[in-house]
Amino acid sequence: MPKVSVLMPVYNAEKFLREAIDSILSQCFVDFEFLIINDGSTDSSEAIILGYNDLRIRYIKNEVNQGIVYSRNKGLKLALGEYIASMDADDVCMPERLEKQVSYMDKNKNIGLCGTSFIFSNGKKNRVQSDSKILIASLSIGNCFGASTVMIRKEVLIKHSLYYNPEYSYGEDYDLWLQIARHTDLGGVPEVLIYYRVHPVSITYLFTNSQRKSYTYKIRIQWHEWIINRTLTDEERIFLHDKFSKERVVNSGLRLIEAVINSGNLRIDLDYYLTTTASRYEYNLICQYKTIPLFTLLSRLFFSPLRKYSPTSMKLLVKMLLKQVMS
Protein backbone atom coordinates (compact mmCIF):
# COMPACT_ATOMS: atom_id res chain seq x y z
CA MET A 1 0.00 0.00 0.00
CA PRO A 2 1.26 3.53 -0.70
CA LYS A 3 2.15 5.73 2.25
CA VAL A 4 0.29 8.74 0.82
CA SER A 5 -2.74 9.22 -1.41
CA VAL A 6 -2.73 12.56 -3.22
CA LEU A 7 -6.27 13.59 -4.22
CA MET A 8 -6.78 16.10 -7.02
CA PRO A 9 -10.26 16.86 -8.45
CA VAL A 10 -10.12 18.36 -11.95
CA TYR A 11 -12.76 20.35 -13.78
CA ASN A 12 -11.85 22.28 -16.94
CA ALA A 13 -8.38 23.02 -15.59
CA GLU A 14 -6.39 22.76 -18.82
CA LYS A 15 -4.57 26.08 -18.39
CA PHE A 16 -2.65 25.12 -15.24
CA LEU A 17 -3.15 21.34 -15.04
CA ARG A 18 0.24 20.23 -16.39
CA GLU A 19 2.07 22.37 -13.87
CA ALA A 20 -0.02 20.97 -11.00
CA ILE A 21 0.50 17.34 -12.08
CA ASP A 22 4.23 17.84 -12.69
CA SER A 23 4.65 19.31 -9.21
CA ILE A 24 3.26 16.11 -7.66
CA LEU A 25 5.14 13.66 -9.87
CA SER A 26 8.44 15.46 -9.15
CA GLN A 27 8.13 15.15 -5.35
CA CYS A 28 11.24 14.09 -3.41
CA PHE A 29 9.01 11.62 -1.56
CA VAL A 30 7.99 8.87 -3.99
CA ASP A 31 5.84 6.40 -2.02
CA PHE A 32 2.45 7.78 -3.07
CA GLU A 33 -0.51 7.18 -5.34
CA PHE A 34 -1.95 10.08 -7.28
CA LEU A 35 -5.73 10.00 -7.64
CA ILE A 36 -6.77 12.41 -10.39
CA ILE A 37 -10.56 12.72 -10.52
CA ASN A 38 -11.82 14.23 -13.75
CA ASP A 39 -15.18 15.72 -12.83
CA GLY A 40 -16.80 15.78 -16.27
CA SER A 41 -14.36 18.25 -17.84
CA THR A 42 -15.30 19.51 -21.31
CA ASP A 43 -11.92 21.03 -22.19
CA SER A 44 -8.63 19.23 -22.87
CA SER A 45 -8.09 18.21 -19.23
CA GLU A 46 -8.65 14.50 -19.93
CA ALA A 47 -6.19 14.47 -22.83
CA ILE A 48 -3.58 16.14 -20.65
CA ILE A 49 -4.05 13.58 -17.86
CA LEU A 50 -3.97 10.60 -20.23
CA GLY A 51 -0.77 11.95 -21.74
CA TYR A 52 1.14 10.94 -18.61
CA ASN A 53 2.64 7.47 -18.27
CA ASP A 54 3.29 7.14 -14.56
CA LEU A 55 2.13 4.09 -12.59
CA ARG A 56 1.46 6.20 -9.53
CA ILE A 57 -1.45 7.92 -11.30
CA ARG A 58 -4.94 6.47 -10.76
CA TYR A 59 -7.31 8.12 -13.17
CA ILE A 60 -10.97 8.33 -12.14
CA LYS A 61 -13.59 9.85 -14.41
CA ASN A 62 -17.04 11.23 -13.61
CA GLU A 63 -19.00 11.02 -16.85
CA VAL A 64 -20.84 14.23 -15.94
CA ASN A 65 -19.89 17.08 -13.63
CA GLN A 66 -20.83 16.16 -10.06
CA GLY A 67 -19.19 19.02 -8.17
CA ILE A 68 -16.08 19.27 -6.06
CA VAL A 69 -17.61 17.84 -2.86
CA TYR A 70 -18.72 14.67 -4.63
CA SER A 71 -15.29 14.29 -6.24
CA ARG A 72 -13.39 14.91 -3.03
CA ASN A 73 -15.50 12.33 -1.18
CA LYS A 74 -15.06 9.84 -3.99
CA GLY A 75 -11.33 10.29 -3.62
CA LEU A 76 -11.48 9.73 0.15
CA LYS A 77 -13.31 6.42 -0.36
CA LEU A 78 -10.83 5.19 -2.99
CA ALA A 79 -7.63 6.33 -1.23
CA LEU A 80 -5.32 3.54 -0.09
CA GLY A 81 -2.67 5.60 1.70
CA GLU A 82 -2.05 6.05 5.41
CA TYR A 83 -2.14 9.79 4.78
CA ILE A 84 -4.31 11.74 2.34
CA ALA A 85 -2.88 14.89 0.78
CA SER A 86 -5.25 17.41 -0.77
CA MET A 87 -4.37 19.17 -4.02
CA ASP A 88 -6.19 21.57 -6.35
CA ALA A 89 -5.64 21.40 -10.11
CA ASP A 90 -4.35 24.96 -10.42
CA ASP A 91 -1.87 25.01 -7.53
CA VAL A 92 1.79 23.95 -7.38
CA CYS A 93 3.61 21.90 -4.73
CA MET A 94 7.21 22.52 -3.80
CA PRO A 95 9.31 19.34 -4.36
CA GLU A 96 9.71 18.65 -0.64
CA ARG A 97 6.03 19.10 0.31
CA LEU A 98 5.07 15.42 0.82
CA GLU A 99 8.41 14.54 2.38
CA LYS A 100 8.16 17.23 5.05
CA GLN A 101 4.51 16.55 5.85
CA VAL A 102 4.98 12.78 6.09
CA SER A 103 7.93 13.29 8.42
CA TYR A 104 5.86 15.64 10.57
CA MET A 105 2.90 13.27 10.75
CA ASP A 106 5.11 10.26 11.49
CA LYS A 107 6.72 12.11 14.41
CA ASN A 108 3.46 13.49 15.81
CA LYS A 109 0.98 10.63 16.19
CA ASN A 110 -1.49 12.89 17.99
CA ILE A 111 -1.92 15.06 14.88
CA GLY A 112 -4.81 14.12 12.61
CA LEU A 113 -4.36 16.97 10.12
CA CYS A 114 -1.51 19.27 9.24
CA GLY A 115 -1.19 22.14 6.79
CA THR A 116 1.75 24.19 5.56
CA SER A 117 2.52 27.82 4.90
CA PHE A 118 1.89 28.91 1.32
CA ILE A 119 2.40 31.81 -1.04
CA PHE A 120 -0.28 33.37 -3.23
CA SER A 121 0.32 34.05 -6.90
CA ASN A 122 0.34 37.77 -6.03
CA GLY A 123 3.35 37.26 -3.75
CA LYS A 124 1.50 37.43 -0.43
CA LYS A 125 2.53 34.75 2.06
CA ASN A 126 0.22 32.93 4.46
CA ARG A 127 1.98 31.53 7.51
CA VAL A 128 0.44 28.52 9.22
CA GLN A 129 0.54 28.13 13.00
CA SER A 130 1.95 24.91 14.43
CA ASP A 131 0.35 24.83 17.89
CA SER A 132 -2.86 22.77 17.94
CA LYS A 133 -4.62 24.97 20.51
CA ILE A 134 -3.95 28.07 18.41
CA LEU A 135 -5.07 26.33 15.21
CA ILE A 136 -8.32 25.14 16.79
CA ALA A 137 -8.91 28.64 18.16
CA SER A 138 -8.28 29.99 14.65
CA LEU A 139 -11.19 27.94 13.34
CA SER A 140 -13.50 30.21 15.34
CA ILE A 141 -12.62 32.97 12.88
CA GLY A 142 -12.41 31.12 9.57
CA ASN A 143 -10.48 28.58 7.53
CA CYS A 144 -6.89 28.53 8.78
CA PHE A 145 -5.56 26.08 6.15
CA GLY A 146 -5.16 26.37 2.39
CA ALA A 147 -6.94 23.39 0.81
CA SER A 148 -3.87 22.33 -1.19
CA THR A 149 -1.65 22.36 1.90
CA VAL A 150 -3.51 19.77 3.96
CA MET A 151 -2.48 16.22 4.82
CA ILE A 152 -4.93 14.07 6.81
CA ARG A 153 -4.44 10.87 8.78
CA LYS A 154 -6.84 8.48 7.07
CA GLU A 155 -7.62 6.43 10.18
CA VAL A 156 -9.19 9.52 11.77
CA LEU A 157 -11.62 9.82 8.86
CA ILE A 158 -12.48 6.13 9.00
CA LYS A 159 -12.84 5.92 12.79
CA HIS A 160 -15.24 8.87 12.96
CA SER A 161 -16.92 8.47 9.55
CA LEU A 162 -15.85 11.94 8.38
CA TYR A 163 -16.40 13.27 4.87
CA TYR A 164 -16.79 16.58 3.11
CA ASN A 165 -20.30 17.88 3.77
CA PRO A 166 -22.23 18.72 0.56
CA GLU A 167 -24.24 21.30 2.52
CA TYR A 168 -21.11 23.46 2.59
CA SER A 169 -20.21 23.38 -1.09
CA TYR A 170 -16.97 25.37 -1.56
CA GLY A 171 -16.78 25.71 2.21
CA GLU A 172 -16.51 21.95 2.56
CA ASP A 173 -12.82 22.06 3.50
CA TYR A 174 -13.33 24.47 6.41
CA ASP A 175 -16.19 22.31 7.69
CA LEU A 176 -14.10 19.12 7.48
CA TRP A 177 -11.19 20.69 9.37
CA LEU A 178 -13.63 21.49 12.20
CA GLN A 179 -15.01 17.95 12.15
CA ILE A 180 -11.47 16.58 12.45
CA ALA A 181 -10.57 19.03 15.22
CA ARG A 182 -13.36 17.61 17.38
CA HIS A 183 -11.49 14.29 17.52
CA THR A 184 -7.77 15.00 17.17
CA ASP A 185 -5.08 17.66 17.35
CA LEU A 186 -4.08 19.84 14.40
CA GLY A 187 -0.59 20.83 13.28
CA GLY A 188 1.37 22.86 10.76
CA VAL A 189 4.66 22.75 8.86
CA PRO A 190 5.99 26.34 8.86
CA GLU A 191 7.80 26.18 5.49
CA VAL A 192 6.13 27.58 2.38
CA LEU A 193 5.37 24.38 0.44
CA ILE A 194 2.53 25.45 -1.86
CA TYR A 195 2.17 28.06 -4.59
CA TYR A 196 -1.50 28.98 -4.33
CA ARG A 197 -2.91 30.37 -7.54
CA VAL A 198 -5.77 32.90 -7.59
CA HIS A 199 -7.12 33.75 -11.04
CA PRO A 200 -10.45 34.64 -12.72
CA VAL A 201 -11.60 31.01 -12.99
CA SER A 202 -10.39 29.73 -9.63
CA ILE A 203 -12.83 28.73 -6.91
CA THR A 204 -11.39 31.39 -4.60
CA TYR A 205 -12.03 34.07 -7.20
CA LEU A 206 -15.48 32.93 -8.32
CA PHE A 207 -16.91 32.27 -4.89
CA THR A 208 -18.75 35.46 -3.91
CA ASN A 209 -18.26 37.26 -0.64
CA SER A 210 -21.92 36.76 0.35
CA GLN A 211 -21.65 33.01 -0.24
CA ARG A 212 -18.42 32.85 1.74
CA LYS A 213 -19.95 34.74 4.64
CA SER A 214 -22.98 32.44 4.66
CA TYR A 215 -21.06 29.20 5.16
CA THR A 216 -18.49 30.85 7.45
CA TYR A 217 -21.31 32.06 9.72
CA LYS A 218 -22.78 28.55 9.99
CA ILE A 219 -19.45 26.87 10.69
CA ARG A 220 -18.46 29.50 13.26
CA ILE A 221 -21.73 28.78 15.07
CA GLN A 222 -20.84 25.08 15.09
CA TRP A 223 -17.38 25.88 16.47
CA HIS A 224 -18.77 27.90 19.37
CA GLU A 225 -21.48 25.37 20.17
CA TRP A 226 -18.85 22.62 20.27
CA ILE A 227 -16.54 24.60 22.54
CA ILE A 228 -19.21 25.72 25.03
CA ASN A 229 -21.19 22.46 24.70
CA ARG A 230 -24.61 23.98 24.17
CA THR A 231 -26.76 25.69 21.55
CA LEU A 232 -26.08 29.40 21.04
CA THR A 233 -28.82 31.82 21.94
CA ASP A 234 -30.24 34.18 19.33
CA GLU A 235 -28.52 37.02 21.19
CA GLU A 236 -25.10 35.34 20.96
CA ARG A 237 -25.52 34.63 17.25
CA ILE A 238 -25.88 38.33 16.41
CA PHE A 239 -22.14 38.88 16.83
CA LEU A 240 -21.30 36.07 14.41
CA HIS A 241 -23.32 37.71 11.62
CA ASP A 242 -20.53 40.32 11.31
CA LYS A 243 -23.12 43.07 10.82
CA PHE A 244 -21.83 45.54 13.36
CA SER A 245 -24.38 48.23 12.60
CA LYS A 246 -26.82 46.30 14.80
CA GLU A 247 -27.45 47.91 18.17
CA ARG A 248 -26.97 44.79 20.29
CA VAL A 249 -23.77 43.58 18.60
CA VAL A 250 -21.40 44.61 21.41
CA ASN A 251 -23.52 42.95 24.10
CA SER A 252 -23.82 39.88 21.89
CA GLY A 253 -20.05 39.67 21.44
CA LEU A 254 -19.46 40.09 25.15
CA ARG A 255 -21.89 37.29 26.00
CA LEU A 256 -20.32 34.99 23.43
CA ILE A 257 -16.80 35.64 24.67
CA GLU A 258 -17.85 35.12 28.29
CA ALA A 259 -19.45 31.81 27.35
CA VAL A 260 -16.18 30.62 25.80
CA ILE A 261 -14.19 31.80 28.82
CA ASN A 262 -16.55 30.07 31.23
CA SER A 263 -16.46 26.83 29.25
CA GLY A 264 -12.93 26.18 30.46
CA ASN A 265 -12.32 24.22 27.25
CA LEU A 266 -8.69 23.10 27.20
CA ARG A 267 -8.59 22.34 23.46
CA ILE A 268 -8.10 26.01 22.57
CA ASP A 269 -5.63 28.79 23.33
CA LEU A 270 -8.00 31.15 25.10
CA ASP A 271 -5.78 34.23 24.82
CA TYR A 272 -5.45 33.70 21.08
CA TYR A 273 -9.22 33.32 20.74
CA LEU A 274 -9.86 36.53 22.70
CA THR A 275 -7.33 38.68 20.84
CA THR A 276 -8.27 37.46 17.37
CA THR A 277 -11.99 37.81 18.07
CA ALA A 278 -11.52 41.37 19.31
CA SER A 279 -9.23 42.27 16.41
CA ARG A 280 -11.68 40.85 13.89
CA TYR A 281 -14.49 42.86 15.48
CA GLU A 282 -12.49 46.09 15.20
CA TYR A 283 -11.44 45.45 11.62
CA ASN A 284 -14.98 44.62 10.44
CA LEU A 285 -16.39 47.57 12.37
CA ILE A 286 -14.00 49.93 10.57
CA CYS A 287 -14.83 48.36 7.20
CA GLN A 288 -18.52 49.06 7.83
CA TYR A 289 -18.01 52.75 8.63
CA LYS A 290 -20.41 53.84 5.88
CA THR A 291 -23.34 52.05 7.52
CA ILE A 292 -22.73 53.24 11.08
CA PRO A 293 -23.10 56.82 12.40
CA LEU A 294 -19.65 58.24 13.18
CA PHE A 295 -20.32 58.80 16.91
CA THR A 296 -21.65 55.26 17.27
CA LEU A 297 -18.69 53.81 15.40
CA LEU A 298 -16.14 55.67 17.53
CA SER A 299 -17.94 54.64 20.70
CA ARG A 300 -18.00 50.99 19.70
CA LEU A 301 -14.41 51.14 18.54
CA PHE A 302 -12.75 52.86 21.50
CA PHE A 303 -15.09 52.35 24.47
CA SER A 304 -16.58 48.92 23.88
CA PRO A 305 -16.09 46.35 26.68
CA LEU A 306 -14.57 44.16 23.94
CA ARG A 307 -11.69 46.64 23.80
CA LYS A 308 -9.96 45.04 26.79
CA TYR A 309 -9.24 41.93 24.73
CA SER A 310 -7.74 43.76 21.75
CA PRO A 311 -3.97 43.86 21.14
CA THR A 312 -4.35 46.83 18.75
CA SER A 313 -3.28 50.25 20.02
CA MET A 314 -5.57 53.30 19.85
CA LYS A 315 -3.10 54.96 17.48
CA LEU A 316 -3.20 52.06 15.06
CA LEU A 317 -7.00 51.93 15.17
CA VAL A 318 -7.14 55.61 14.17
CA LYS A 319 -4.73 54.93 11.29
CA MET A 320 -6.83 51.98 10.15
CA LEU A 321 -10.00 54.04 10.24
CA LEU A 322 -8.44 56.96 8.33
CA LYS A 323 -7.02 54.60 5.72
CA GLN A 324 -10.43 53.05 5.18
CA VAL A 325 -12.18 56.42 4.92
CA MET A 326 -9.57 57.77 2.50
CA SER A 327 -9.56 54.72 0.23
What CATH number has the domain bearing residue 176? 3.90.550.10
Same domain, 242 and 276: yes
Which residues constitute the domain of residue 254?
Answer: 229-326
Q: Are 227 and 265 in contact (CB under 8 A)?
A: yes
Q: Which contacts of 57-64 are long-range, i.e. CB under 8 A and separated by 24 or more positions?
A: 57/25, 57/33, 58/33, 58/34, 60/35, 60/36, 61/37, 62/37, 62/38, 64/40
Query: What is the mean pLDDT of the segment spanning 83-112?
Result: 98
Q: How far apart are CA 54 and CA 57, in angstroms?
A: 6
pLDDT-above-70 percentage for the chain: 96
Phi, psi dihedral angles at 52 (to 5 degrees): -90, 140
- Within a domain: 90: yes
Contact status, residue 197 vs residue 90, Cβ threshold 8 Å: yes
Residue 214 belongs to a domain: no
**For range 106-119, the mean pLDDT:** 98
pLDDT for 168 equals 86
213 within some domain: no
Residue 218 lies in a domain: no
Q: How many other β-carbons are positioned within 10 Å of the β-carbon of residue 156?
A: 17
Are residues 264 and 139 part of one domain? no
pLDDT given for residue 205 in this prediction: 40
Q: Same domain for 149 and 236?
A: no
Same domain, yes or no, for 255 and 144? no
Instruction: Note whether residue 133 is domain-resident.
Output: yes
Same domain, yes or no: 234 and 175: no
Which pLDDT belongs to residue 213?
74
Report the phi/psi class of residue 293: left, alpha or beta, with left for phi > 0 and alpha for psi in -120 to 50: beta
The verdict on 59 and 145 lying in the same domain is yes
Among 117-131, 137-151, 205-219, which stretch is predicted with the lowest mean pLDDT?
205-219
61 forms beta bridges with 38
Residue at 217 is within a domain = no
pLDDT at 246: 83
Residue 211 counted as domain residue: no
* pLDDT at position 212 over 90: no
Is 81 in contact with 33 (CB distance < 8 Å)?
yes
Indicate if 180 and 258 belong to the same structural domain: no
Tell me the pTM: 0.94
Is the pLDDT at 245 greater than 90? The verdict is no
223 pLDDT more than 90: yes
Number of domains comprising the chain = 2
- Note the pLDDT of residue 198: 78
pLDDT averaged over the chain?
Answer: 94
Looking at the structure, do residues 173 and 250 belong to the same domain, yes or no?
no
The pLDDT score that the predictor gives to residue 199 is: 55
- Residue 71, in any domain of the structure: yes
- Of 133-137, 289-293, 294-298, highest mean pLDDT: 133-137
- Give the pLDDT confidence of 158-202 residue by residue, as tens digits: 999 999 999 987 789 999 999 999 999 999 999 999 999 875 544
Percent helix, strand and coil across the chain, each to the nearest 5: 50, 15, 35
> Can you tell me the distance from the alpha carbon of 162 to that of 57, in angstroms, rounded to the nearest whole number?
25
Section 78-102 average pLDDT: 98
**C-alpha radius of gyration, the chain, whole number:** 21
How does residue 206 score in pLDDT terms, banded at 50, 70 and 90?
A: very low
Q: pLDDT value at position 229? A: 98
